[in-house]
Structure 1
Amino acid sequence: MFKSILKQAASVAVLGLSIASAHAQSTTEITEAAHKEGNLISYGMSDDWVNLGNIFGRIEEIYGVEHVDTDMTSAEEITRLLAEKNAPVMDIADIGYDFLGRLVGENLAASYKNSSWDSIKPEFKDPDGRWASGYWGAISFLVNTDQVKVLPATWNDLLKPEYKDQVCSRDPRVSTYATASVLAAAYANGGDETNVQPGIDWFTKLRDTGNLRDGVVLNVASIQKGECPISLVYDFDGFAKRDATGLPLEVIIPSDASVGMLFSQYINALAPNPNAAKGAIDFIFSDEGQVMLAEGYAHPTRDVTLPAEVAAKLLPASAYANVHFPTNLESFSGAVAKIVEGWNAVVGQ
């Protein structure tokens, strides 16, 4: 089902709120109503993530709104939405595929089928319009070549003594970076969505060897200060960190296995500015929005033709030969739950 994604990569490198269908309102009606609302509040969509700063700049121009984001993880996002049910703040958000099960289960997303809905493949959208995935990224090794002279190519390379105290990751209980990393390590060692234990075992080995750094928060600052010689990140985020820091950072897709994580966008069921939210979602899935995501090194989910200069910035399709995508939401959510359970057992919490 997801092989079409790689073909694309080869060719390019309740408050009474009812948001039922993009076709229920014209673009003009949405634009005029968004202008009147004047604001657009997002969670987990920071300016330095997949070119969102420029994307929201265009949204502000088109819809006459002022955008404000609060950066947070997918887990924090859901916690915040639940806490704000009686006083909603957020309009739209970006969430990792691994947290969609909780999002839908808590009825936090409105049903809205954006203006490009019919051209979004079924595997990238909820039949009821509660979410759609605008882009994906693959787990990669982000390596500072000033600090690491022999570049790792596979997961098991990272277990070698030469990488002592050099590998930075995050907590899979709260971060899609880490959830996907554990699953990728599982695939590399004979596991899959139905058997994540090899990934948990592998990270236990990484910790026991002393190669996994403890007490370091994986972010731009820690990378810039040299605290993370090797970081487990999405490929698009690795390229963005390289650009932001100016450091000699190389993005490597592990040749034995990686996971292609889908990132989904949705409207808060209680959005204070529902029309601004609709307009923003429409733009993200438009041809222009999808190309702008690729300018931020993300892989668009719609079949759009990328300008040559944009495609040239991306890794070749051959680098993604062993990328594994979610089978479906139920299976992937089950894998995530098992990863969290297994991680709790490992760390004793």
Structure 2
Amino acid sequence: MVKRGKFWVTVAAIAVMGVLGGCANNSASGSSDNWNTIVKQAKKEGKVVSVGMPDTWANWIETWNDLKSQYSIAHTDTDMSSAQELQKFKSAGKTSSSPDIGDIGLNVAPTAVKENLLTAYKTKYWKDIPSWAKDKKGYYSAGYTGSIVFVTDTKNVKASDAPKSWSQLASGKYKVAIGDVSTEAQAQYSVLAAAYANGGSESNLTPGLNYFEKIQKQNRLSTVDTTIQNLQKGEIQVAVMWDFNALNYAHQIGSKRFKITVPSDGTIRSGYTEVINKNAAHPYAAKLARAYILSDKGQINLAKGYARPIRTNVKLPASVKSKLLPSSDYKKVYHVKNNTKWNQETLKLGQEWKTKVLGAN
């Protein structure tokens, strides 16, 4: 699967009509569409085409099924990375085959806005979304978040030795895997989280690079990719990854085997944003989909897939809430303040990683 929680950086979002209603005149592009018009036209279109939103990712299948049963809107998806999604928006142009909606990392969303690829639409839930997770004009807004955590395989490392902080991770005896920093955003956010915990930010990644340089010099930095297959085979001792990946993988393999911890001295939280293609073949269905994703039911659907909803005022059923780590575990969380700056830094990070970290020995 292309979308493994790695945002991929290669370029410089119980709802029935009554719950979703009230979205009228919320289009930031100045559209006069009201909610009744959106629903009517979306039903007429009868279809929504997504990219990078496969059934098995973040439980999207339940949202697509809801749109089908409640609004008679069929769905198809082609799994892609964030960069591939934006390239598809560009290459398809304004044709009957143009995708309608995609799910991209917040770090590349400013690029999509700058390149004029998106349609703005705020929905009635706009005020529920924190400022760090949305564009002021409504071109993008995150539907769910991810935070960097540690995953310890207790078949390889004693549970009592599982790191609970970056400080403990640095002094451990086990190998640490974070993935490919040159191409994978999950790995890049891991570097940022380490930087933040050691006094850095998206504008100063040096503390993070220095941190992993020390681990490399100890011969503890593993080059094994942080996939579910490698975890299952026992090829990873401690991995650094998104919490929703960690929880999902642990559930599939056997949750008792893995210990998942949020670093107490700092983690990074970012998210995915559901963006509407400016040239969407089914623009009303795309707007309806975004509104549904941000509704209470849409947010609960995402939580069922281990993704933490962006709207904190949604009451999750106990059975769903238990799928996520307790909010109290996230003691020190950093949000990227400047995604444009962060995107610029990631373009340089791959080479810096190879030179400073991998070349440390």
Q: State TM-score, norm by structure 1.
A: 0.83
- The change in CA–CA distance for 1:69 and 1:105 in structure 2 (over 3 A counts) is same
**Further displaced range: 237-246 or 62-71:** 62-71
The one of 130, 135, 151 aligned to 2:139 = 130
**Further displaced range: 329-338 or 101-110:** 329-338
Which residue does 1:103 correspond to in 2? 112
Q: Return 5+ residue gaps in structure 1 as ranges.
A: 1-18
Measured in 2, the distance between the counterparts of 1:237 and 1:221 equals 12
Contact 1:143 1:229 in 2 (8 A): yes
Paired letter, 1:315: L
Which residue does 2:21 correspond to in 1? none
Q: Return 5+ residue gaps in structure 2 as ranges.
A: 1-26
The one of 30, 47, 56 aligned to 1:48 = 56
Cα offsets for 1:222-245 (capped at 9, x unmatched): 222223332221112211111222
Q: State TM-score, norm by structure 2.
A: 0.80
* SS of residue paired to 2:235: coil
Question: Identical aligned pairs, as a percentage?
Answer: 36
Which residue does 1:236 correspond to in 2? 244
Paired letter, 1:178: A
The one of 304, 308, 321 aligned to 2:314 = 304
- The change in CA–CA distance for 1:84 and 1:331 in structure 2 (over 3 A counts) is same
* SS of residue paired to 1:202: helix
**Further displaced range: 253-262 or 19-28:** 19-28
- The change in CA–CA distance for 1:39 and 1:220 in structure 2 (over 3 A counts) is farther
The one of 339, 347, 352 aligned to 1:342 = 352
- The change in CA–CA distance for 1:286 and 1:24 in structure 2 (over 3 A counts) is farther
Paired letter, 2:252: A
Report runs of 4+ in structure 1 exceeding 6 Å deviation. none
Paired letter, 1:139: I
Cα displacement (A) at 1:332: 3.7
Contact 1:109 1:130 in 2 (8 A): yes
- The change in CA–CA distance for 1:86 and 1:36 in structure 2 (over 3 A counts) is closer
Which residue does 1:35 correspond to in 2? 43
Contact 2:94 2:279 in 1 (8 A): no
The answer to whether residue 159 in structure 2 is matched with residue 152 in structure 1 is: no
Measured in 1, the distance between the counterparts of 2:179 and 2:253 equals 20
Paired letter, 2:147: A
- The change in CA–CA distance for 1:255 and 1:279 in structure 2 (over 3 A counts) is same
Which residue does 1:142 correspond to in 2? 151
Contact 1:21 1:113 in 2 (8 A): no
Measured in 2, the distance between the counterparts of 1:210 and 1:335 equals 26
Cα displacement (A) at 1:304: 1.7
Which residue does 2:78 correspond to in 1? 70
Cα offsets for 1:21-65 (capped at 9, x unmatched): 697334343233223333322222233332222222212322323
Contact 1:168 1:212 in 2 (8 A): yes
Measured in 1, the distance between the counterparts of 2:186 and 2:344 equals 17
Measured in 1, the distance between the counterparts of 2:253 and 2:189 equals 24
- The change in CA–CA distance for 1:174 and 1:89 in structure 2 (over 3 A counts) is farther
Paired letter, 1:262: G
The one of 271, 274, 285 aligned to 2:280 = 271
Which residue does 2:93 correspond to in 1? 85
Cα displacement (A) at 1:138: 0.8
- The change in CA–CA distance for 1:79 and 1:174 in structure 2 (over 3 A counts) is farther
Number of aligned pairs?
327
Which residue does 1:226 correspond to in 2? 234
